[in-house]
Chain A
Amino acid sequence: MEALVFWIAAAAMVAFTLLTISSRNPVYSACFMILSFAATAALFVLLDAYLIAAVEVLVYAGAIMVLFLFVIMLVNLRESEHEGLRLNPLMVLAAGTFLALMTRAVQDLGPAVGPQPNALQGSPGLLADTLFTRYVVPFEAVSLLLLAAILGTVVLSRRKEDA
């Protein structure tokens, strides 16, 4: 059962990602990307990462993709400016080599390790415990980073005459 869900979700994730990068219309790309994030969320559930799955849907498929759609609509490309993948033999070779190397490197991990049967791993309590004890300094750093990003966005998007 778990294997079946894995194969379906994995196939969906790869297929939707492929459609995302190859669609000619950017709006279609964004929609396919939302579907690929949904498949990813299913895979996270399979890995007992329930909270991460929820955050994936809320933040990635929700907030970030809406931001992308906003900008795509604002830029509003003309139909003639739509273009798909520009296949270049050298780039295909580079990507293929990269994938082959990754796959080869993974084989050296030694005997296949089975998943640790521990459903507690994805519980919000454990995550919060880890986040607010061992990782509290990085957590505060990330909050500063987000503040910097907000300020940067405001400063950048301000029109000249307001300055």
Chain B
Amino acid sequence: MITLQHWLVLSGMVFTLGLCGVMMRRNVILVLMSIEIMLNAANLALVAFNKHLVVAPGAPVPADGQVLVFFTIAVAAAEVAVALVIAMLLFRRLDTVNVDDVANLRW
């Protein structure tokens, strides 16, 4: 029997892997991909919660979790487009995609 807990632990595991990617990779494109992994893990949790919502008999079927996933995907697409352009500009101006080489704004 697959319960809500199974889904949430799976989502947590994938989210943690994404977190590891953000912290431990130095290539800015890989960091962005790790952020996508984290968003995707959150999507999985949203859909799982939606599936396991307990509603009163006769009440309308909820689809709010799945609608929220649509918004997440749209926001992720917008974010990736802008972030990848920034990565391209980084490469064009500084000839690097290594986040350690781009520390100009550090105190």
A interface, CB within 8 angstroms of B: 2-3, 6, 10, 13-14, 17-18, 20-21, 26, 29-30, 33, 36-37, 40, 43-44, 47-49, 51-52, 55-56, 59-60, 63-64, 67-68, 71-72, 74-75, 77, 81, 83, 85-88, 91-92, 94-95, 98-99, 102-103, 106-107, 109, 112-116, 118, 120-122, 126-127, 129-131, 134-135, 138, 142, 145-146, 148-150, 152-153, 156-157
Whether the Cβ atoms of A126 and B61 lie closer than 8 Å is yes
Whether the Cβ atoms of B23 and A91 lie closer than 8 Å is yes
- Chain B residues near A51: list those with CB within 8 A: 66
Q: Decide yes or no whether B67 CB sits under 8 A from chain A.
A: yes
Q: Decide yes or no whether B24 CB sits under 8 A from chain A.
A: yes
- Chain A residues near B91: list those with CB within 8 A: 74-75
Whether the Cβ atoms of A118 and B61 lie closer than 8 Å is yes
B interface, CB within 8 angstroms of A: 1-10, 12-21, 23-27, 29-30, 32-34, 36-37, 40, 43-44, 47-48, 50-55, 61-64, 66-67, 69-71, 73-82, 84-89, 91, 97-98
- Taking a contact as CB atoms closer than 8 A, the residue among B4, B15, B25, B50 that contacts A113 in the complex is B4
Whether the Cβ atoms of B77 and A146 lie closer than 8 Å is yes
In the complex, the chain B residue whose C-beta lies closest to that of A81 is B98
Whether the Cβ atoms of B25 and A115 lie closer than 8 Å is no
Q: Is the interface of A mostly helix, strand, loop or mixed?
A: helix
How close is A68's CB to chain B, nearest CB, in angstroms? 6
How close is B81's CB to chain A, nearest CB, in angstroms? 5
Whether the Cβ atoms of B74 and A85 lie closer than 8 Å is no
Whether the Cβ atoms of A21 and B34 lie closer than 8 Å is yes
